[in-house]
Amino acid sequence: MNRRFLPITLLTGTLFALALVGYLIPARSAAQPVRILLENKGGKVIFDHKVHTEMQGRACVDCHHTSGQDPAPPACSVCHVPKFDQSFVVGHLNTIDPKHCSACHHAEATIDNFDHDGHAEDYAANNCQACHHDASIEPTPQTCANCHGQRLDIPTRKDAAHARCANCHDDLFDAGVSGCSACHVRKPVVSPQPGNEKGAAISPRPCSDCHAEQTDQLIPTTATAFHAQCMGCHEEKTSGPYGDDACFRCHMR
């Protein structure tokens, strides 16, 4: 080898080795971004992340609502995408950290706290019809799931049970979500997801089991999420752009 090429060869080899080592070493958590460019059909938006994080009393969870006290919360665009379609459904298994699965995939809800014997004793002469149908529909009291949830022409088991229970327990239903624990017990269901290299995740159930809305309406799109979160906060603080006539203050043509 010509000696004059030796320094170039050594330098190239050294740079290649450093690049290879840097590629193989696991990357550290990304530093907080200073600014974020948001592509949008209505005009690009430059979001000043640094200014918002330095605001007095502001915490990550104020905007990253699924993060809790996580010092490195996921970017909004990880969950809120321009379009909720099959491509996102398949791809999100590998892009979302399993610890955030519970933000959308709720834990299973059982009714372990429901005391059937206790309810039967509360009614004189075991008046089963207080909960079950009369003999013209239900000659012998049976499990609600035998019919509800099996036939399209009658209410689902959830709707039927809630309607029947609310007749007596209006105090619990008036309490909203906080009243669920009187009957329901949350039990996380964990199972490995095919193609998810990050490990186990909460086993998903069809959203329609509990939600009447279409699946693509349950997770706001990127634009909807930013508009609601950003403008909602600005309006609450009466500071910064909000309202239909303030679009130009964020969007650049």
Q: Structure tokens of 154?
A: 């009658």
Q: Is this structure's pTM higher than 0.75?
A: no
Mean pLDDT of 100-126: 72
pLDDT tens digits, one per residue of 71-110? 778 888 888 888 888 888 888 878 887 777 767 776 666 7
- pLDDT tens figures, 162-221: 888 888 888 877 776 656 777 877 665 454 444 444 444 445 666 776 677 777 778 888
* Within-domain flag for 245: no
Q: Is residue 155 part of a domain?
A: yes
> Are 97 and 80 within 8 A, CB to CB?
no
In a domain, 167, yes or no: yes
Q: Does 119 score more than 70 pLDDT? A: yes
The predicted structure's pLDDT at residue 197: 44
Residue 164, in any domain of the structure:
yes
Dihedrals phi, psi of 245, to nearest 5 degrees: -100, 10
Residue 149: domain span = 109-187
CATH code, domain with 167: 3.90.10.10
- Structural domain count, the chain: 1
Per the domain annotation, does 115 fall within a domain?
Answer: yes
In a domain, 173, yes or no: yes
Residue 160 pLDDT more than 60? Answer: yes
DSSP symbol at 161 = H
**Averaged over 216-232, what is the pLDDT?**
86
**Burial label, 79 (beta-carbon count in 10 A; 0-12, 13-18, 19+):** buried
> Is 241 part of a structural domain of the chain?
no
- Asked if residue 181 belongs to a domain, the reply is yes
